[in-house]
Amino acid sequence: MPQFSVLADRKLWLSTWDGLVSFDGQKWQLYDPDVDVDWLVQTPDGRLWSESWRMDGIVSFDGQKWNLGFNTNNTSFGNASVNTALSTSTGEIWLGTTRGLYLFSGNKWISKLATGINCIDELTDGTLIVGGDSRLRIFRICILK
């Protein structure tokens, strides 16, 4: 399952049908209700990332507003559903979709596996554990680069 909440900057961030919501322990705040967000991951630089159908791609949130990070139209996974997302300790963003495993590198998505992916996790040594439609796979990130 994709992650729908992230703890960052002493706030709880939640992905909701009405947009991104934060809670600082005292008050709730809604950000950009016109931007729909699905899953959430946080990169080491503090930015939140998600997918937005209204913005046609992968978006990042700088704490105030969403910015289009990558347009997913005409990509190999454009019509695939995102089942899971992971930001690694090195800041890489991985997506597990109904069409496969993808790594965001630079400004493009690189296909790493062409089978449905349901879960991704990272061990403390950087090893990725990837669960797919047909089996569990264990990868060292350096092998996939």
Spatial separation of the C-alpha atoms in residues 100 and 80, rounded to whole Å = 9
pTM for this structure? 0.74
Which pLDDT score, from 0 to 100, does residue 28 have? 92
CA dihedral 97, 88, 129, 123 (to 10 degrees): -160
Q: Give the DSSP H or E segment for 140.
A: strand 136-140
CB neighbour class for 14 (10 Å; exposed up to 12, middle 13-18, buried from 19): middle
Mean pLDDT, contiguous 10-residue spans, the chain (145 residues): 63 81 89 79 83 81 82 68 85 87 80 85 86 66 42
Which pLDDT score, from 0 to 100, does residue 116 have? 85
Is-contact 113 126, C-beta < 8 A?
no
CA 75 to chain centre: 16
Backbone torsion region of residue 126, taken as left when φ is above 0, otherwise alpha when ψ lies between -120 and 50, otherwise beta: left
